[in-house]
Amino acid sequence: MPLLSGTTAQYVASAAALGAVTLARGGGVIHWNAEFILSLTWLVLVLSVGAILLLMRLLRDLPAARVNSLFYLVPPLAVLESWLLFGERLSAASLAGLALCVTGVALAAVPARPS
């Protein structure tokens, strides 16, 4: 199955299933305001569609094992985002974990030397 049409089918099926559950539970109320619309737009376009398109591009251009190692960058990036956006303090454990994850991904990215 082509990745783009397969992903679209998954999103449509998920939306239909969640819509049916919402209606079966008596519906829901959405308070449409700028904050909600911006958040929803970010979630749909960047975190869902953008992430899937980026993943497909990476899988097309790089070996799957190398792409898989990039998933280990999610926790350190979340730590940095919380520090940058929300002013959270970076503890020694957070910094050590960040360094460990980044080092591991860097090691996985180095091409193997022929023996």
- pTM (two decimals): 0.65
Whole-number pLDDT of residue 21: 95
Whole-number pLDDT of residue 34: 96
Q: What is the mean pLDDT of each run of 10 residues along the chain (115 residues)?
A: 81 94 89 94 89 87 88 90 92 92 89 75
Burial of 62 (0-12, 13-18, 19+ CB in 10 A): middle
Whole-number pLDDT of residue 108: 86
Whole-number pLDDT of residue 40: 93
Whole-number pLDDT of residue 39: 94
Whole-number pLDDT of residue 111: 76
Whole-number pLDDT of residue 33: 96
Residues 87 and 79 sit within 8 Å (Cβ to Cβ) = no
Residues 78 and 94 sit within 8 Å (Cβ to Cβ) = no
> Which strand (E) or helix (H) includes residue 40?
helix 34-41
Residues 101 and 77 sit within 8 Å (Cβ to Cβ) = no
Whole-number pLDDT of residue 114: 76
Q: Count CB atoms within 10 A of the CB of residue 68.
A: 13
Whole-number pLDDT of residue 25: 92
